[in-house]
Structure 1
Amino acid sequence: MRTRLSLAAAAVGALVGALAPMASASATGPDVPSGLFTSPSSGADCGTSAPYTTIDNTDISLRGTFSDPAGGVLSAHFKIWPTGYGTGADVADTTISVVSGSVGTLVVPRSVITQLLATDGITGNGTFSWTARIEHGSLASDWSAECHFVFDGVRPTPPSAVSPQFPDGSNGWPANTGQARTPGTFTLSSGGVSDVVAYAYSTGWDPTVRTVTTTAGASVDVTLTPPSSGSWTLTVYTLDAGGNRSDSFIYRFYANA
């Protein structure tokens, strides 16, 4: 028997009884849910075909439009599970109330997402499938086509930075360092985190955060020019494919006059 997990559920327009007239289920039954989508977005067509969109370590909303020709208050039935599994306790099986013709929303906390993965022995990242159907009285629609997304529950480790022109000054002013108003090359590295897709950086003389993209966590070079002599900092963090952000790394260096 599949375990029903406790999920935070919200249905747009799902106030029952007083807000919608009672109606009997139509003879043909309710329609298959339409307009299914995930928030954050899982891409075109709700991720029905690979490659699937990666979503970061956050709560995830499952949404769709639920209708029956007879109108009234319906039950929107959602199921979500790690793709390739879904045979028991690794299925979140939840029903919410929704007024016919409106959008129903089921919020799946990230704690539930990670619990589903852990049930199947998966840590960190995992692909999910979900589907929905409409139930009205004794009748039910067919299940919708399956939606998919990849959940990335792991933040990248902090990056690093080095510069041959402006060496590390964390232990004080180096004997040999570059001059102010002279460009230097700074190499940003992800520490081997293969799903890093971008570095974001700013400097002590310019707080504007700039982003440079990368592939598979490869190192990148940026050129920076300290405007005057003295102590300066370069602050860097990384973003992975799911949008998870690492802690910042601060590189301190000095420029000669």
Structure 2
Amino acid sequence: MSFGTRSRAVLACAGILGLTLAAAVSPAIAAARTPTVPHDLFNGRQSCSTDADRPTHLWAGTGLDVEGIPGTTDATDNSLVTAEYRVWPVVDPSSITTIRRNAIPGIEALATLPAAALTDGQTYAWQAQTVADGTASDWSATCYVTIDNTRPATTPTISSANYQQDVSNPGGAPAEFTLSANGDDDVSGFEYAWQQPLPIAGIANIGDHGIPRFVDPYSNPTYFMRADSPGGSATLSLVPPNGSGPKTLWVRSLDRAFNASEITSYMFFVGPTAPSVTPAVSSPEFGEPTEFTLRPAPGLQSTNPVVSYTVQTIGGQTYGESVEVTAEADGTAEVQLTLDGIYGEALQVTSRSANGWVSDAGRWSSTYDTTPTVVSDAYPENGSGGGVGVPGSFTFTPKVKDVVSYTYSVNGDPEATVTAGDDHSASIDWTPASDGFHDLQVYATTSAGTQLAPYDYYFTVN
């Protein structure tokens, strides 16, 4: 487990701290600076507690990080000073452990109290002072820490009032969960997510002068919630991930030091909530504006009214683009789309309810044949005819509207384009230079510049 993670960037100054200064401080300067009491005291990246009745609870399995900002009365002098820390058990003030480290005035001086000097479950007091040129400042205020290296012994239990475990439940509403510590008063809160691994609790960002900025995990209700009392419970209202099918909520308990219990889970099933997608005509034509009606899944509107839809097109000229459509009071909506996928097009539609629920996707699709029709009397398709030097005429006609030209190539030769006539068809004359198998590939282009699907016309020259 990793708790109280500290940005490694702030430790870059550690190498500086171990260096011997090349320039010695003159006696006049040394005499002018007086060490000051360290301030901005932190332990485990959290602000120190000066209340003996409310110590900070911290994991210290590899030692306890303590820090403060040492300084002197000379704000312009950056000569190294010594940050000195002493710690003792509250029950035995005479048993003092002292550690020292070189430090830059005005910068947090982090030191680690050895794990061997700290007993799990024991409360300790610690102080800091600055030592400069053989003179020590007063000791700082006393900070109080309780060492907690033991994770909660019990896993939480999970129940839901509206999504029963291991069965299919109607979708559309946030899942209401109750997490319980079952009376384990070591538990102060819970962590949860729809996927693993769960986030790390109790991280800290580092600000100016190396000052930690502790991030209280319970400030993020997406993943964390305090128990209503030690060993108590918490209630959650969570929208499951999109779509129907199985969903799993992963949960673990946290103590005051953010030690985590074993992870437990709650699996349930969400029934289908996909909207229906119905075109105004049974077989929409390529390139023609078509109106679609969107309707909520049966039963969804009466319990969790739909307020909007997201419509995504797949296979058209604007592949993957989506539009938002506002629903009427009855949950339905109308949207007009021009289908221009040269092989076909599909719509993927999700509904959103007023409570934030996003349904699984409803789908509609259609296929189109936008290839041109090719006809030749001299050289029939998939047959043989003509001969070397015998000219043949090939006529192209469209299967869709608004075709303005045809582009063709024989046997992979450079492409050529012929303009369509008023009836949107075109003809070419071609004379073979060799016998045998030939391939004429041709595609049409619309007035909008859309290149339609190509067609391969195979024939044999006698």
Count of residue pairs the alignment pairs up: 227
Cα 1:167–1:143 change in 2 (3 A) is same
1:250 counterpart residue number: 265
**Which runs of no fewer than 5 residues in structure 2 stay unpaired?**
1-12, 199-220, 273-462
Find the partner of 2:224 among 211, 219, 225.
Answer: 211
Cα distance in 2 for partners of 1:20, 1:107 equals 25
Alignment of 1:163-202 (within 5 A): 163=160, 166-169=163-166, 177=167, 179-181=169-171, 185-202=176-193
List aligned pairs for 1:1-257, cutoff 5 A.
Answer: 10=14, 15-18=19-22, 21=25, 23=27, 26=31, 30-43=34-47, 46-50=48-52, 51-57=54-60, 59-67=64-72, 72-88=79-95, 91-99=96-104, 101-103=105-107, 105-108=109-112, 112-113=114-115, 115-118=116-119, 123=120, 125-136=121-132, 138-157=134-153, 158-163=155-160, 166-169=163-166, 177=167, 179-181=169-171, 185-203=176-194, 209-214=222-227, 215-223=229-237, 230-255=245-270
What are the ranges of 5 or more consecutive residues in structure 1 without an aligned counterpart?
A: 1-8, 170-176
What do the CA deviations read for 1:125-167 (whole angstroms, capped 9, x no partner)?
3322112233445543333332223333222343221346555
Cα separation, 2, equivalents of 1:138 and 1:191: 56
Shift in alpha-carbon separation, 1:135–1:251, aligned structure 2, 3 A? same
User: Residues of 2 paired with 1:155 and 1:66: CA distance?
Assistant: 38
Give the Cα separation in 1 of the matches to 2:15 and 2:183: 42
Misfit runs of 4+, over 6 Å: 225-228
Higher RCO (C-alpha 8 Å, min separation 6):
1
Q: Quote the RMSD (CA, aligned, Å).
A: 3.9
From the superposition, tell whether residues 134 and 231 of structure 1 become closer, same or farther in structure 2 (CA, over 3 Å).
closer
Larger Rg computed on CA atoms: 2
Give the direction of change, closer, same or farther, for the CA distance of 1:139–1:196 in structure 2 (3 Å limit): same
- Is the Cα–Cα contact under 8 Å of residues 81 and 92 in structure 1 kept in the other structure? yes
Instruction: Name the CA distance, whole Å, in 1 between partners of 2:267 and 2:232.
Output: 22
Contact kept? 1:10, 1:104, Cα under 8 Å = no
Give how far 1:37 is off.
Answer: 0.7
- SS of residue matched to 1:26: helix
Q: How far 1:249 sits from its partner (Å)? A: 1.2
SS at match of 1:103: coil
Deviation of residue 36 (structure 1)? Answer: 4.3
Work out the CA distance in 2 between the residues paired with 1:202 and 1:75. 45
Q: Is the 8 A contact 2:17 2:102 kept in 1?
A: no
CA distance in 1, matches of 2:263, 2:27: 57
TM-score by length of 1: 0.66
Rate the CA distance shift 1:20–1:148 in 2: closer, same or farther, 3 A. farther
